[in-house]
Amino acid sequence: MSAPPRTEAVAASREPSARGAGLRRLWAAPRVRWGVLLLAATTAFAFLGGLLAPFDPSQPVGAPYAPPSPGIWLGTDQLGRDVLSRVLHGGAYLAWMAPTSAVLAVAIGAAVGLAAAYWRGWVDTLLMRAMDVVLAFPGILLTLLFVAVFGPLPWLLVTLVVVALVPGVARVIRGAALPVIGREYVQWAKAVGMPSATILRTELLPNVSSPLFVELGVRLMWAVGILASMSFIGYGIQPPAADWGLMVSENRTGLGIQPLAVLAPVVMIVVYTVSGNLIAEGAARVIARTEGRAE
């Protein structure tokens, strides 16, 4: 015996946002919009920046740790290479590896989370305990082990990041899907015999799209962080390639003499991370507002 519907008056007063529900409402939030624009800008910078580089990123152009001078706007690094050219070149790895790992992690994590929530029982136990095991295993150890065996291959790094991120995504999506599965429209779909795969795709997935978007933003941030740290400890992209994380590591001894060699790549990593943060945070706020209003 449920309460009379208090939300009815609100619902009836024509919500313009109901159409194209999830994503459109997210895009309407300024934070999300800024985040996406920033992400697009950094990505474009990372891929196309190399074309604008004044020098070859792997050839010395002056003395090591030279301060900025006309033509060499950001000075040189520990081997005398142009910092500006290296920054312009150095985002390419991160710019494809981070989003790829984030998207893969969210896709796999969502599949695992939805399956666990939908079937419950032993499927749930098996999947989620497996996730716990992954979560319990220190990611850094895993990285050291695999990179030591196979070498720092880009696809291996992506795989390692994905493995590290999937359990978190799976947990969140499982949590978001559980209440949806209790809803009557999912019960109805089961009763009329809709195939499970269709229920997952058409009834469940669209109704967890908002948390999914938050996850994408959060996991992008994480992926950037993990990849940059891998480079920093020397298990990521290898010298002499230009890479933001690697540059921080290479030039940190000269921080006192030529701070720009460290600061420039750090700023780029920060901007990249903030874009993910903005998307996640903005999406989370929209969801909180929506849930506060509806049902």
Partner 1 sequence: MTATLEVADLTIVRDADEARIVDGLSFALGPGEVLGVVGESGSGKSTVALGLLAFARPGARIAGGRVVIDGVDLLALRGGELRDARRRLAAYVAQDPATALNPALALRTQLLESLDGPPAENLDRIRRVLRTVGLPADDAFLRRKPRQLSGGQQQRIAIAMAVVARPRVIVLDEPTTGLDVSTQAKVLALVKQLCADEGIAAIYVSHDLAVVADVADRVIVMYGGELVELVPTDALLGAPRHPYSRALLAAVPSARERQVLHPIRGRAPGVGERDAGCVFRARCDFATDACLERPPLEAEPGGRLVRCVRADEVQRLTRITRVADRPERPGLVCRPAVLEAEGIDAHYGERQVLFNVSLELEPGRCLAVVGESGSGKSTLSRCLIGLHEQYEGRLRLDGEELPLTARARPAAARRELQYVFQNPFGSLNPRRTVGSSIAAALRLFGSDGRRTGAVVAEALERVEISARLAERYPAELSGGQRQRVAIARALACEPKVLLCDEVTSALDVSVQASVIELLRGLIDEGLAMLFVTHDLAIVRSIADSVVVLSEGHVVERGETAAVLDRPSHPYTQGLLADTLELPALAG
Q: To the nearest whole angstrom, how small is the minimum distance from the Cβ of residue 195 to partner 1?
A: 9
Does 9 help bind partner 1 (rule: CB under 8 A)?
yes
Give whichever of 47 and 188 is closer to partner 1, judged by the CB atom: 188
The shares of helix, strand and coil residues in the chain, as percent rounded to the nearest 5, are 75, 0, 25
Does 10 help bind partner 1 (rule: CB under 8 A)?
yes
Give whichever of 69 and 198 is closer to partner 1, judged by the CB atom: 198
Burial class (CB in 10 A: 0-12, 13-18, 19+), 111: middle
Using CB under 8 A as the binding rule, the residues of this chain from 12 to 41 that contact partner 1 are 12-15, 18-19, 21-22
Contact 215, 169 (CB under 8 A): yes
Residue 110 structure tokens: 């969502």
Q: To the nearest whole angstrom, how small is the minimum distance from the Cβ of residue 201 to partner 1?
A: 11
Q: By rule CB under 8 A, what string of x and - marks binding of each residue 182-221 to partner 1?
A: -xxx-xxxxxxxx-------xx--xx-x------------
Nearest to 103 by CA among 222, 195, 200, 281: 222
Does 285 help bind partner 1 (rule: CB under 8 A)?
no
Does 3 help bind partner 1 (rule: CB under 8 A)?
yes
**Residue written as token pair 């990285």:** 143
State yes or no: cis peptide before 240, omega within 30 of 0. yes
Contact 279, 36 (CB under 8 A): yes
Does 1 help bind partner 1 (rule: CB under 8 A)?
yes
Give whichever of 256 and 292 is closer to partner 1, judged by the CB atom: 292
Q: Which residues pair with 82 in a beta bridge?
A: 76
Residue 78 structure tokens: 């520990």
Give whichever of 150 and 185 is closer to partner 1, judged by the CB atom: 185
Q: Which residues bind partner 1 (CB under 8 A)?
A: 1-15, 18-19, 21-22, 183-185, 187-194, 202-203, 206-207, 209, 294-295
